[in-house]
Amino acid sequence: MTYRIGYLVGSLSGDSINRVLAKALVHLAPPSLQLEEIPIRDLPLYNRDDELSPVDAVPTFKKAIEASDGLLFVSPEYNRSIPAPLKNAIDWGSRPWGQNSFARKPTGIIGASPGAIGTAVMQASMRSVLSFLDAPQLNAPEAYVTFHADAYADDGSVTDPHTETFLRHYMEEYAAFVERVLSATLPGHEGDADLDVMH
């Protein structure tokens, strides 16, 4: 079985440490997960006036969310909350009313920070948002990553054994969570990457 997992990086910066983390998670993911980035850069600022006639980037984004079996959010923390580009993407994906693309998608939240807090406050905000959007969340293990550049190689491998063990365990737990949620909510689902998830 393989599950298509869309991952969203909450920073638009080309040298974002969370993009480095995302690359490592792709590298360490178990074979049952096929990770593909869902870009958020081209989304305009959310405006309710544009819901019924949005620019092409919006339906493209929503279709990518809907085509994913699960979602992984890899994000920094800005001003003790969710970065504006990521919150903007979530707002677009949840609209128009009755067309919430996130509903029943098994989600994971992880983030890296140079400091010891490791994006904990951002993740608490995300959990509240995802609960409202009816998106099941992996609650444990929590993953607040204090980033050390020398722990990551350019090819996505993790050179620090402790960090590698922790991140690999997180991805294994997320994979098991995805399987549990989908087997409970989508009877007969066999992990087909081409399955259109029904809402």
Q: How far apart are CA 161 and CA 29, in angstroms?
A: 16
Domain ranges of the chain: 3-185
Neighbours of 92 (CB within 10 A): 24
> Model confidence over 49-71: pLDDT tens digits?
999 999 999 999 999 999 999 99
Q: How far apart are CA 135 and CA 71, in angstroms?
A: 9
CATH topology of domain 3-185: Rossmann fold (3.40.50)
Tokens of 197: 């998830």
Q: What is the pLDDT of residue 118?
A: 87
pTM of this structure? 0.91
Query: Which positions of the chain have pLDDT values less than 70?
Result: 186-199
